[in-house]
Amino acid sequence: MKLTATLLIALAAAGSMAAGGLKGKVIYVNPGHGGWTANDRPIATINHEVMDTLGFFETKTNLWKGQELRARLEKAGARVVMSRTRNGYVTAGQKNATALDRPETWSDENGAQQITTLQTIAMNVDSINPDYFISIHSNATGGDDGKLCNYLTLVYRGETGNDYAKGSIERAQQAYPIVWDNPLTVWTSSSPENPFITGDLTWMGATPPGDANALGYKGYLGVLKHRVPSFLAEGSFHSYQPERQRLLNRDYCRYEALRYYRAINAWFGGKPDKAGHIVGDVRSASEKFEHQLYHGVKGSDDELRPVNGAMVYLNDSRGVRVRAYRTDGEYNGFFSFFDLKPGNYTITVEKQGYAPVQMGVQVKADKVSCVKPRL
Q: For binding to Zn ion (CB under 5 A), which residues are involved?
A: 32, 137
* Cβ-based nearer residue to Zn ion, 30 or 213: 30
* Cβ-based nearer residue to Zn ion, 32 or 66: 32
Is residue 65 within 8 A of residue 235, CB to CB? The reply is yes
How many angstroms from the chain centroid is the CA of residue 338?
15
Query: Least distance to Zn ion from the beta carbon of 41, Å?
Result: 6
Angle at 191 between CA 21 and CA 257, to 5 degrees: 40
Query: Least distance to Zn ion from the beta carbon of 338, Å?
Result: 25
Residue nearest Zn ion (C-beta atom) = 137
According to DSSP, the residues that pair with 340 across neighbouring strands are 276
* Cβ-based nearer residue to Zn ion, 33 or 295: 33
* Cβ-based nearer residue to Zn ion, 21 or 32: 32
Please choose, from the candidates 268, 169, 156, the residue with its C-alpha nearest in 3D space to the C-alpha of residue 220: 156
The helix, strand and coil proportions of the chain, stated in percent and rounded to the nearest 5, come to 25, 30, 45
- DSSP assigned state of 269: T
Query: What whole-number distance in Å separates Cα of residue 121 and Cα of residue 124?
Result: 5
* Cβ-based nearer residue to Zn ion, 36 or 335: 36
Query: Least distance to Zn ion from the beta carbon of 135, Å?
Result: 9
Query: Least distance to Zn ion from the beta carbon of 194, Å?
Result: 23
Q: How many CB atoms lie within 10 A of CB 84?
A: 26
- The DSSP result for 279-307, as a single string, is EEE-EEEEEE--BTTB-PPTTSGGGEEE-
* Cβ-based nearer residue to Zn ion, 206 or 275: 206
Query: Least distance to Zn ion from the beta carbon of 149, Å?
Result: 16
Query: Least distance to Zn ion from the beta carbon of 270, Å?
Result: 28
Query: Least distance to Zn ion from the beta carbon of 211, Å?
Result: 20
* Cβ-based nearer residue to Zn ion, 32 or 210: 32
User: How many distinct helices (H) and strands (E) make up the chain?
Assistant: 7, 23
How many angstroms from the chain centroid is the CA of residue 340?
20
Beta pairing class for 230-237 and 153-156: antiparallel
Is residue 351 within 8 A of residue 287, CB to CB? The reply is no
* Cβ-based nearer residue to Zn ion, 21 or 219: 219
| Category of 174 on φ-ψ map: left (φ > 0), alpha (ψ -120 to 50) or beta | alpha
Query: Least distance to Zn ion from the beta carbon of 36, Å?
Result: 14
Query: Least distance to Zn ion from the beta carbon of 32, Å?
Result: 4
CA dihedral 193, 185, 279, 134 (to 10 degrees): 60
Which residues neighbour 155 within 8 Å (Cβ) at sequence distance 6 or greater?
197, 198, 199, 200, 203, 221, 224, 231, 232, 233, 234
* Cβ-based nearer residue to Zn ion, 82 or 278: 82
